[in-house]
Structure 1
Amino acid sequence: MTFDDAIKAGKVTADEAYAIFDSLEPTEVEDLIGTWQGSEFPSGHPVDGSLAASGWFGKRFKDADTVDPLLFYTADRESFFAADPLKKFAASARGVTDIASVREEIETSAPTARLRKAEYRGKVTVGMIYDQAPIIDYFRKVDDDTLLGAMDRRGDPGTYFFVLRRVAR
């Protein structure tokens, strides 16, 4: 199964997601610079569907040390804002599903992640390391404007996969 086949199907198994991810080329930091709109890549992970339902927009990479790992739509869905991951996780744990409704509580102007090259699943690629959470998102290149991401979180029984499509450099 190819990436395009998986997108058309709308979901894959975890094994298919890993096989697709493993078939893709590693990324360089320069490949990621820009703003990216995210979408889910359903593979049977327990959080499948939750990011889309929360109003997730995507990610923004300014440089290797200036990363907004969680961008969410504003209430009017005309724009987006950067969220502090720990405050977002706390809001979700309280049962908040519409992240825009707690924007004043969780918005941040400070970067909350950074990019570093690391080996993951046999290839050296770019990983996004959250500053205050045990999470690394690894990226592989589908094409110059499309990435497949794999979220590796300590204690998580599986890998959460997602797609990023570039909207601005």
Structure 2
Amino acid sequence: MTTTNPTGRLEALGTACDAAEAQALFDSLSAVRPEELTGRFSGRELATGHPMDGLLEASGWYGKQFDGVDHVHPLLFRDLGGAIFPVEPRKVPLGIVPKLPAAVVARSRAAVGALKPVLRTKKHRARLRAVEHRGVVTAAMVYDHLPIIDVFRRVDADTLLGVMDLRGAPPYYFVLTRD
């Protein structure tokens, strides 16, 4: 990567890179305060060879919604009709998703709409806190009921690079852009 502009560096990576490149970009980015994360963000994966690469997007994942530091919808999904809704994270089988063939996950997107009444939640299921991660204190989203912490760094005023820290799994990188 030849540019020092964080947005340009992220664009240069495209949609895929190796984990070392993603980590180097993440480490080079500025911290963000929890209070700065407000609103709805659309997400995309940054494929690095992680077992979950491609699976969230194939299943209809949309992004995250930050209504306040103690009021976060950690998983937003989009049904086939385009409606965006918050999902109860405990009902997403994160443990088995990486073991499923991508074609099965892609077909599950249609099921998301059918299962919307069961998956949907009105309750916020995460909160934001400042945590130290890799030597930098920055905003992190802590799930209420799962061993997951998503840590964020600022790419620009409306873009974040996140890394999911799931116990027992390698880092999973994603990009969030404010709607």
Fold match by TM threshold 0.5: yes
Which residue is equivalent to 1:113?
A: 126
User: What's the Cα RMSD here?
Assistant: 1.8
Q: CA deviation at 1:147?
A: 0.4
Q: CA deviation at 1:92?
A: 6.5
Paired AA for residue 10 in structure 2? F
| Count of paired positions | 163
Which residue is equivalent to 1:124?
A: 137
Which residue is equivalent to 1:59?
A: 64
Which residue is equivalent to 1:4?
A: 11
1:165 pairs with one of 157, 166, 177: 177
The question of whether the paired residues in 2 share the 8 Å contact of 1:55 and 1:100 is answered with no
User: Aligned in 2, Cα 1:88/1:163: closer, same or farther, shift over 3 Å?
Assistant: same
Provide the rounded CA distance (Å) in 2 between the counterparts of 1:101 and 1:83.
13
Provide the rounded CA distance (Å) in 2 between the counterparts of 1:65 and 1:86.
18
Provide the rounded CA distance (Å) in 1 between the counterparts of 2:95 and 2:21.
32
Paired AA for residue 151 in structure 2? Y
Which residue is equivalent to 1:103?
A: 116
Q: CA deviation at 1:104?
A: 1.1
Provide the rounded CA distance (Å) in 2 between the counterparts of 1:6 and 1:43.
10
Greater shift, 100-109 or 64-73, is seen at 100-109
Q: Describe the SS at the equivalent of 2:20.
A: helix
Provide the rounded CA distance (Å) in 1 between the counterparts of 2:130 and 2:19.
24
Which residue is equivalent to 1:83?
A: 87
% identical equivalent positions:
44
Q: Describe the SS at the equivalent of 2:115.
A: helix
Provide the rounded CA distance (Å) in 2 between the counterparts of 1:50 and 1:32.
25
Q: Describe the SS at the equivalent of 1:89.
A: coil
Provide the rounded CA distance (Å) in 1 between the counterparts of 2:95 and 2:48.
25
Provide the rounded CA distance (Å) in 1 between the counterparts of 2:131 and 2:35.
15
The answer as to 2:78 corresponding to 1:73 is yes
Paired AA for residue 164 in structure 2? M
Of Structure 1 and Structure 2, the greater strand share is in 1
1:144 pairs with one of 157, 162, 173: 157
User: Aligned in 2, Cα 1:118/1:106: closer, same or farther, shift over 3 Å?
Assistant: same
Q: CA deviation at 1:102?
A: 1.3
Q: Describe the SS at the equivalent of 2:127.
A: strand
The question of whether the paired residues in 2 share the 8 Å contact of 1:72 and 1:100 is answered with no
Provide the rounded CA distance (Å) in 1 between the counterparts of 2:125 and 2:39.
16
Which ranges of structure 1 fall in alignment gaps of 5 or more residues? Answer: none
User: Aligned in 2, Cα 1:13/1:4: closer, same or farther, shift over 3 Å?
Assistant: same
Q: CA deviation at 1:75?
A: 2.6
The structure 1 segments of at least 4 consecutive aligned residues displaced by more than 3 Å after TM superposition are 90-96
Which residue is equivalent to 1:25?
A: 30
